């Protein structure tokens, strides 16, 4: 991470087992749709531990424009 962190709630999630060609080496990986505290919804890549629906997460936009999230404890 390293930029502004946002907080949000996981609305839905899934694990990608059959990834696009450029991400095959990273599969399986989890993605989620998160509703941020300000009401915006983002599709995010989950880093670290898996998250479940209703999990609270920190979200940050990476330099490549992809949003990443990780569970808050």
User: What share of the chain has pLDDT > 90, as a percent?
Assistant: 85
Is a pLDDT exceeding 90 seen at residue 54?
Answer: yes
For residue 45, pLDDT beyond 80: yes
pLDDT at 2 over 60: no
**Pairing of β 41-46 and β 67-71:** parallel
Q: What span, in angstroms and rounded, lies between the C-alpha atoms of 29 and 14?
A: 8
pLDDT at residue 1, as a whole number? 41
Q: Per-residue pLDDT tens for 4-39?
A: 789 999 999 999 999 999 999 999 999 999 999 999
Rounded to whole angstroms, how far apart are CA atoms 18 and 4?
A: 31
């Amino acid at each position: 991470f390293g930029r502004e962190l946002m907080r949000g709630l996981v609305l839905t999630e899934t694990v990608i087992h059959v990834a696009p060609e450029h991400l095959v080496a990273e599969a399986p990986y989890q993605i989620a749709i998160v509703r941020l505290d300000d009401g915006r919804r983002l599709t995010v890549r989950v880093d670290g531990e898996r998250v479940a629906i209703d999990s609270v997460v920190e979200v940050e936009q990476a330099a490549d424009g992809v949003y990443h999230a990780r569970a808050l404890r």
